[in-house]
Amino acid sequence: MTINIRIDNDNLTINEPAAIVSGSKNYYRLQAVFTSDWDGLSRYVVFPTQECSVAMTEDDSVLVPEAIIAESGVLTFGLIGMDGEGNLRITTNYVRLRILSGAREIHALPPSPADDATWESYIGKIAQGWLDLINEASGDFAKGPASSADNHVATFSGTTGKLLKDGGVLISALAKLSSPTFTGSPKAPTASEDTNSTQLATTAFVETATHMDEKSEVMLEPLGGLPAGTDISGADVKDLLKSLLIKYLPPTVTLTATQNGGGVYELGVEVRPTFTVSAVKKSQPITSLELRVGGSAVASSLKVQAQGGVQTGVTLTQPLKSSASVTARVGDGQSFSDSAAIGYTFVDPFYYGAVSSAPTDSTGVRALTKLVQTKGAKTLSYSVSAEKGRLCFAYPSSYGALKSIKDQNGFDNTADFDRSVVTVTNAASSEVSYYVYTYKNTVTPGVLGMTFSF
């Protein structure tokens, strides 16, 4: 039976049926229809209750494992898509399908009615059995009138297993379940040292808890306290006792970029990030809250909230134009706490591409493909044509000369490149000296990979 499902981007829905039946084997098949987002991805069905996943066949279907629908309940599943390198690319929501109880037990036909002779024989055997039981047990009952067992606990004979009339124990002598009162020396299991529950504590447990090993050292964390030299003249008694007895905790703050987060940007581009700031009040009300760029406070849309809270959509009054770290700082009049920093780096870009001849001016260099990254080895792919058969790579000369240029097969081609110097006008309208490496000869049209190392 086919269970039709549809996956629109990352949304999974069931078209039909509304329920399936437990106990079937290799019967139910999930048949999927995907949107183009899933093209080129390996597709797997995930069954969370069994902690397993099953790869889909080329026709986008998969048999439901029999172990998953062995019992009635709910069938839960979702889908994931993996790229060729085994990286998770898409995951859907989970959907649920009811599993009804299946007719797996074989039931026998009802027996035929018994005739009169059978019933008479059956009843006679039951009556005789009761008589034999009474005769055998009569000698084992306790002697005396019925009153001798009033409010006593009835017991069984340990030898014959037959019921005794009087166990000799008053019911009133038994401990009650609610608020019992014990006498003598009642015993109970001794809990482990780290037990912290409603379990009864024995004297052995108390002894262990109150007398620690003399060889061990107990490290006590100080609570409150006042720094040496604190002037307490005129201090309120209540505030003074609070400082002495209660440990002071500074406020905390976290900073998250929700738009234009930290990373590498082209020098000359203005970056206007948006942040979420979460301040948490601890011992004292919050008195200050600010954004800081490069360690200095800057104007922003952030507001001080004495009890703390989360503020979204926080922006800087001025955009970022140069490399810096952004942090949030919160204070309560006694101390400050800083968030983790979000770093922004501004660089002049790399340029690369296939050319007919080496570029000699800023326009020629900036016509190449731009790569906004920091200094480091670059592995690049070139599309070479008959008209543009020479490889070109350019970067700020302040990075220094290249140590090696290797092709996709690992052969060193450094000597096959000419290096020239070109002045390039960057996005900030500044003139920057660039090293331009150009392959001396034309290469066969196609796609060629090269690695440039510093």
- pLDDT digit string (tens) for 254-283? 999 999 999 999 999 999 999 999 999 998
Q: What share of the chain is helix, strand, coil (3-state, %, to 5)?
A: 15, 35, 45
For 46, the token pair is 């995930």
The Cα 302–Cα 331 span in angstroms is 14
CA distances from 288 to 141, 281, 310 (A): 88, 11, 14
The Cα 245–Cα 311 span in angstroms is 33
What band does 219 get if pLDDT is binned at 50, 70 and 90? very low
Which range (77-81, 209-213, 334-338) has the least confidence?
209-213
Task: Please name the CATH architecture into which domain 2-100 falls.
Answer: Sandwich (2.60)
For 320, the token pair is 């970022």
> Taking a C-beta distance cutoff of 8 angstroms, is the pair 224, 243 a contact?
yes
**Residue from 411, 406, 380 nearest 394 by CA:** 380
The Cα 381–Cα 371 span in angstroms is 12
Tell me how many degrees the CA angle 9-12-14 measures, rounded to the nearest 5.
140
- In this chain, the answer to whether the domains covering 2-100 and 252-345 adopt an identical fold is yes
> Taking a C-beta distance cutoff of 8 angstroms, is the pair 38, 51 a contact?
no
What band does 105 get if pLDDT is binned at 50, 70 and 90? very low
**Residue from 89, 26, 29 nearest 56 by CA:** 29
How much is the pTM?
0.49
**Residue from 313, 320, 224 nearest 276 by CA:** 313
Residue ranges of the domains in the chain? 2-100, 252-345, 348-453
Look up tokens 């979460």; give the residue: 278
The pLDDT tens digits for 38-66 are 999 999 999 888 788 889 998 999 998 88
Q: What is 252-345's CATH topology?
A: Immunoglobulin-like (2.60.40)
Q: How many CB atoms lie within 10 A of CB 185?
A: 5
